[in-house]
Amino acid sequence: MFQIIDGKKIAAQIKEEVKSEAEHLRKQGKEICLAVIQVGEDPASSVYVRNKQKACEYVGIQSVLKKLPENISEEELLATIEEMNHDCGINGILVQLPLPRHIDEDKVIKAVHPDKDVDGFHPENVGRLCIGEKGFLPCTPAGIVKLLKYSGIEIDGKECVIVGRSNIVGKPMALLLLRENGTVTIAHSHTKGLKEITKRADILIVAMGKPLFITADYVKEGAAVIDVGIHRKEDGHLCGDVDFASVKEKVSYLTPVPGGVGPMTIAMLMQNCVAASE
């Protein structure tokens, strides 16, 4: 028997906690404010930005959306961020990714002041995570650790395999699981014999960006499988990197798409916003 990890439910619990913390801070006269910068009108990005605004509204965090045209110059975007860095009324700054190709994402990430970097992407926060210092944690990996803990899945001493090595998910995920005393392997597009590696995993985190790639023959019996992928199918429905129907018979825990990792990403962003105000 497998158990669905209900990310939506766990995220709702975390948002309740954040809501009361935000309320508490407001009584002390501290308003929390998140600034979201969206460049262009990518429909998926617009959905994500709306999810973030709705969550802010729910937990009692102010949000300001700065929409910039697709063709804005890198200098203008950097100037906007710099202005927000100095604005005492803004606690957190988030630049919605991906950015148009003419803008250097690394430069933009570095422009956000580390103390307002609620996405946890600035090299200072990445470095802090790497050496175990306190700092902003990237929302998706932090949300995944919460999912595992809430579900009673122990990480200590477990074989953890991550498929994908992005700066946003794979790499920080590895650092976080390591911090939880997991034994961590990162597999990626150049990995040989992927199946043999993923089949060793007690905890398998899939962030490869290939719809329905992971089938039952990639997983060990009784494993916990976390699906970070999000794809829109032709019929408009969402699916992940994991073939849910194929894998579910074999594993003990599995996250759905939608309603698994995604809502946790948003909930952790709310937590980071509260932390940013402290």
DSSP secondary structure string, 144-192? HHHHHHHTT---TT-EEEEE---TTTHHHHHHHHHHTT-EEEEE-TT-S
164 binds ligand BQF (CB under 6 A): no
Cα 119 to Cα 9, 135, 185, 267: the distances in Å are: 22, 11, 24, 12
**Residue 198 near ligand BQF by CB under 6 A:** no
227 is catalytic: no
With binding defined as CB under 6 A, does residue 272 bind ligand BQF? Answer: no
Of 46 and 277, which has the nearer Cβ to ligand BQF? 46
8 has catalytic annotation = no
Residues 41-100 close enough to bind ligand BQF by CB under 6 A: 48, 51, 97
Annotation says 96 is catalytic: yes
Q: Does the footprint of ligand BQF cover residue 120 (CB under 6 A)?
A: no
Candidates 96, 117, 241, 250; catalytic one: 96
Interacting residue with ligand BQF among 60, 100, 123, 258 (CB under 6 A)? 258
Q: Least Å distance between CB 68 and ligand BQF?
A: 16
Site residue total, ligand BQF (CB under 6 A): 11
Q: Does 142 bind ligand BQF (CB under 6 A)?
A: no
What one-character-per-residue DSSP string does 57-119 give? HHHT-EEEEEEE-TT--HHHHHHHHHHHHH-TT--EEEEPSSPPTTS-HHHHHHHS-GGGBTT
| Selected catalytic residue, list 38, 116, 117, 119 | 119
36 DSSP 8-state letter? E
Instruction: Write out the residues near ligand BQF by the rule CB under 6 A.
Output: 48, 51, 97, 230, 257-259, 262-263, 265-266
